[in-house]
Amino acid sequence: MSFPADGPLRIGLPRGIVAHVMSDRRAALSPIAADAAGQAGPGGRKVIHIDMDAFYASVEQRDDPSLRGLPVAVGGSAERGVVAAASYEARVFGVRSAMPSVTARRRCPALVFVKPRFDVYKAVSAQIRAIFAEHTDIIEPLSLDEAYLDVTQNKQAIASATAIAQDIRRRIREETGLTASAGVSYNKFLAKLASDHRKPDGLFVVTPAMGERFVETLPVARFHGVGPATAAKMEHLGIRTGADLKAQSLGFLQERFGKIGPYYYGISRGLDERPVRANRIRKSVGAENTFSADLHTEHEMREALGPIIDKVWRHCETAGTRGRTVTLKVKYADFRQITRAQSSPAPVASRADIERAAFRLLADLPADPRGVRLLGVTLSALEEGREGERTDEPAQFALPL
């Protein structure tokens, strides 16, 4: 499958953030052709997914012993603040990353807010990447704390991917004082599911013999590429588990989900042919909304932009991303659309900066009698390497807010 150049995407992490993201290289999902029963797995790959446990929060607890054992949220506590990461103690209260700080504090009044230190997270990320690189150069980071590794061929000629994953987990613990969870399988989809299965500080292996059954038992909402909106749509169609998904025909899934349909068809059978790709760098982040009723006044449009800008900014805060170009997209009732962009020499530093730019672009639009059915805001010209933002989106969705 291919991705439209400007399609909205749900980012993989953290769940709940609705944003679209563009990569410099798109994963080309070829039609599902492999046989799950193959000994080495379809495509003969050995894939490890490594995911640091509550990464930012764990780094803060490591560096400040007084925070250990406490519910900690990394992120801003201000009114518009967002939780970038929550410690396990905070998660017990239902605090999650990408949650507005106000909500988090309501759920956990004792929550301790800590300002993010992206420079430190970046340094730890470089440490773990160096450990990965002792085994393979085919490393695809999804964020600072998460990566896929293809170890089919590996530098130390270790036959067992599980042994490599164990070694990496041990080395991460020794060298950073932090824990990571690992998933081992024959493709990316399953490796990521597996790393989540025994979290935190766990290792789980999904063999070719297990893959199909493993997927059947899980709720589709857990699947990479099934965001909240898609999960709701699937629920509506009676699709709750991998088994439910597998019961659908390819034609049905294509009809209901478009280009992503074949991906769903494949993963429900434990199949995913996306290769592990090194160096996919995120180029933009954005969000958009299609309205149930067309908008006609500038006032209505400004109001409607609020939650869209919130989402873009929430992502910026969560990931430490900054960008210089704000783009406004307007789709009219007749489905024609225009985009207008504004760049500034310095990266946007606040939600207000994005809002100011978006409102100016909106105000500069010529008067138009057509109603507006969709508005979108994208931030691009992202600051390189601030948090090494990478991306791996198997799916793109039209995302209702």
What secondary structure letter does DSSP report for 9? B
Burial of 300 (C-beta count, 10 Å sphere; 0-12/13-18/19+): middle
How do strand 47-52 and strand 203-205 relate by DSSP bridges? unpaired
Distance between CA atoms of residues 222 and 313, nearest Å: 25
Q: Supply 185's token pair.
A: 């399988």
Binding to Mg ion (CB under 5 A) within 329-358 occurs at: none
Clarify whether 175 is annotated catalytic. no
Q: Does 387 bind Mg ion (CB under 5 A)?
A: no
Can you tell me which residue has the tokens 């063999």? 207
Please report how many Cα atoms fall inside a 13 Å half-sphere around the Cα of residue 223, on the Cβ side: 31
**Torsion sign across C-alpha atoms 97, 102, 108, 114:** positive
CB of 88 to Mg ion, least distance (A): 12
Q: Which is nearer to Mg ion, 60 or 355 (CB)?
A: 60
Binding to Mg ion (CB under 5 A) within 109-148 occurs at: 145
Binding-site residue total for Mg ion (CB under 5 A)?
A: 4
Measured between its terminal Cα atoms, the distance across the chain in Å is: 25
Binding to Mg ion (CB under 5 A) within 145-174 occurs at: 145
Can you list the pairs that 95-102 forms with residues at least 24 positions away whose Cβ atoms lie under 8 Å? 95/71, 96/14, 96/15, 96/16, 97/13, 97/14, 97/16, 97/318, 98/14, 98/15, 98/16, 98/17, 98/314, 98/315, 98/318, 99/16, 100/314, 101/73, 101/75, 101/76, 101/77
CB of 60 to Mg ion, least distance (A): 14
What is the secondary structure of 63-122 as a DSSP string?
H-GGGTTS-EEEE--STT-BEEEE-HHHHTTT--TTSBHHHHHHH-TTPEEE---HHHHH
Cis upstream peptide for 219 (omega within 30°)? no
CB of 279 to Mg ion, least distance (A): 20
Q: Which is nearer to Mg ion, 51 or 272 (CB)?
A: 51
Indicate which single residue of 21, 29, 52, 95 sits in contact with Mg ion (rule: CB under 5 A).
52
User: Which segment (45-53, 118-126, 163-171, 274-282) binds Mg ion by CB under 5 A?
Assistant: 45-53
CB of 74 to Mg ion, least distance (A): 12
CB of 382 to Mg ion, least distance (A): 21
**Torsion sign across C-alpha atoms 171, 175, 181, 186:** negative
Q: Does 51 bind Mg ion (CB under 5 A)?
A: yes
Catalytic residue among 89, 140, 146, 355: 146
Q: Supply 56's token pair.
A: 């930012």
CB of 191 to Mg ion, least distance (A): 14
User: Which segment (53-61, 115-123, 244-252, 379-387) binds Mg ion by CB under 5 A?
Assistant: 53-61
CB of 297 to Mg ion, least distance (A): 43
Q: Does 182 bind Mg ion (CB under 5 A)?
A: no
| Non-local CB neighbours of 13 within 8 Å, separated by 6+ positions | 97, 142, 143, 146
The single-letter code of the amino acid at 359 is F
- Residue whose C-alpha is closest to residue 128's, from 184, 183, 168: 168
Distance between CA atoms of residues 202 and 180, nearest Å: 7
What residues are labeled active site?
Answer: 146
Residues making contact with Mg ion (CB under 5 A):
51-52, 55, 145
